[in-house]
Structure 1
């Protein structure tokens, strides 16, 4: 049977349309299957494998020569703990904190050896029951180069028209500032209160006691100090201290005046001692003269007194006392009646 041109063309169109629809359906089915398989794989890896999420933002920090590992966690299921370890640059990892629930581990608080010039790396993993996460490693930290130094403690003392600045270094977790940074210096900035834009600076000061003497009397000044370790011109600077203020008073007299006064007083004392030694006889005669008393004074002073009392007091043997014996006799009537003597003088009332 012969087909016309119109029937042939229509048949070809239907065949093409059917083929395109079948191809589109096959492509959609394949894409859908791939999407489902991908989701299954991702979900299955979380649910089936049972591996915890690893800690994030793991970093090893140092503040005043301590060594602390810090991290963050996206999930906090019940019983979740962490284990942190540290590693020197030329050694293997060593145990630090075990089964802790906090998000940090301070290695310097543990009974382990930390070297102030060492390079260290830390790592941490999460654990919940029998499930553990993978280890997450931190950055490498060099203690003496990367540690953050706190601000020094500054005290001011007013002394006339000058201000004395006392500086105390921050306390390190291990060692001391001057032992780690033996060339450390201070940068001192000072200004009149309310005029910080006109501040003056003194650099490379190694003494912890400094006197500011180019000040105005009866003026309030503020001081700020920063430590410079000397390792690098732009880094290893401590945090600046808080501004401390103190007022000057009346202008102090020149420092040579007390010295001159002291010298004069000592010279006068020495001169008096020398004069006393050289002229001691004359001074003694002046204070204790040898002038004789007039003769009539001597006679009056040496004459014996005529007082009988004086004579009696001077006699070593006391004078004999002269006395007469007296006998008291009772009345014969009283004795005859037999009354006692004490009633002898009473009249008879019977």
Structure 2
């Protein structure tokens, strides 16, 4: 049954309960059309709820799950995933349900403290899982294309942790004029080279992930196109280029080792100060760097007291001693 007829059935069921007394408190109808969606180990449980089935009252939903082998326990240990939510879906991804496991899911509605019956669904992730599209990029090398594949992003794991034996189906074709589609099947490498292509031509590529235990095929990637180059370069050209590069690197290393002293002196030259700069930079305290100073010649100085009276000073002059120089004349 498609989604539209299921929705109509749920609507008719809700209206029937409403007009027959289900909305006035006598009975709460259970959720309808309980389904699961599984993409890249992301699990979502969803359901339908007929508008007006609860009248004007607010309705909430509770979702639980249990491994199927534990249903034999009395009572089973049901684990609540979403409690009293107003949404019409519940994300089960964070509970990391075992990919190869088998579970029983159930959901019920609650209106004003009154619960509906549980609506149940069996859930086998590995049977229902869809694998999302990978990301594909192309690198051109002459007339060859290198296909680089990146796995889809999983929320709590990696693709290879869940799909241990997954392989890639690679489809490619020449876009103009369009040639017959060519396929490379069951490739495990995430890098593949498409060779022997026509030069200066546009090729398009799509990739799909396949898992043997999953009956549902993976989604195809977006179509990616690139134009090939001219003729491939001769192998000896690449060898010569690699040899030249290696020789240049070795020569540079040898030159650095042999001439390191000269190079270091050139890059970091020694600074030699003139002598008068050195003298001016000596510290003021000679006790730190003792310097021998030349000996100095000192004359003896005698001090004679002046005994003249004040009257003598007023009369004349500087001295009352006879002038011996005139007497001798």
Q: Shift in Å at residue 124 of structure 1?
A: 0.7
Following superposition, the deviation at residue 182 of structure 1 comes to 1.7
Aligned residue number for residue 137 of structure 1: 120
| Structure with the greater alpha carbon radius of gyration | 1
> Which of 88, 91, 94 is equivalent to 2:67?
88
* TM-score, with structure 2 as normaliser: 0.61
Instruction: Say whether the 8 Å CA contact 1:60–1:67 is kept in structure 2.
Output: yes
Counterpart of 1:117?
Answer: 100
Aligned CA RMSD, in angstroms, stands at: 2.8
Instruction: Establish whether residue 165 from structure 1 lines up as the match of residue 147 from structure 2.
Output: yes
Question: What residue number does 1:242 align with?
Answer: 222
Q: Residues 196 and 170 from structure 1, CA distance in 2 versus in 1: closer, same or farther, beyond 3 angstroms?
A: farther
Structure 1 position 45, deviation (Å): 6.0
Determine if contact 1:55/1:124 at 8 Å carries over to the other structure: yes
Partner SS for 2:39: coil
Q: Which residue of 2 aligns with 1:54?
A: 30
CA positional deviation for 1:131:
2.1
Distance 2:245 2:105 in 1: 71
Which residue does 1:226 correspond to in 2? 208
The TM-score with structure 1 as length reference comes to 0.58
State the match for 2:171 in structure 1: 189
1:107 to 83, 86, 92: 92
Q: Does structure 2 retain, via aligned residues, the 8 Å contact 1:60–1:121? A: no
CA pair 137-208 structure 1, distance change in 2 beyond 3 A: same
CA distance in 2, matches of 1:103, 1:228: 32
Distance 2:127 2:236 in 1: 47
CA distances 1:179-216 after superposition (whole Å, capped 9, x unpaired): 12221111100011155561111111111111111211
Mean Cα displacement is larger for which, 237-246 or 174-183? 174-183
Distance in 2, matches of 1:49 and 1:78, equals: 10
Q: Deviations over 1:107-133 (max 9, x none)?
A: 123xx3522222122111111112221
Q: Does 1:154 align with 2:136?
A: yes
Gaps of 5+ in 2: 1-17, 71-75, 251-329
Alignment correspondent of 1:334: none
CA distance in 2, matches of 1:190, 1:49: 62
Q: Does 1:214 align with 2:196?
A: yes
* Whole-angstrom CA distance in 2 between matches of 1:55 and 1:95: 17
Deviation at 1:257, TM superposition (A): 3.5
Q: Could you tell me how far apart the structure 1 residues matched to 2:182 and 2:36 are?
A: 38
Query: What is the alpha-carbon distance in structure 2 between the residues aligned to residue 195 and residue 119 of structure 1?
Result: 50
Distance 2:91 2:244 in 1: 64
SS at match of 1:86: strand
- Cα distance, 1:44 vs. partner? 6.2
Cα deviation, residue 94, structure 1: 1.3
Give matches, 1:233-272, under 5 Å. Answer: 235-259=215-239, 262=242
Hey, which of these two has a bigger chunk of helix by percent?
1
Deviation by residue 1:214-266 (Cα, 9 ceiling, x = unmatched):
2111111110000111326xx24210111111111111213343225655998
Q: Which runs of 5+ in 1 are unaligned?
A: 1-41, 271-350
Q: Report the CA distance shift for 1:176/1:220 in structure 2 as closer, same or farther (over 3 A).
A: same
Q: Does the 8 Å CA contact 2:44/2:92 hold for their aligned counterparts?
A: yes
What is the number of residues matched between the two proteins? 224
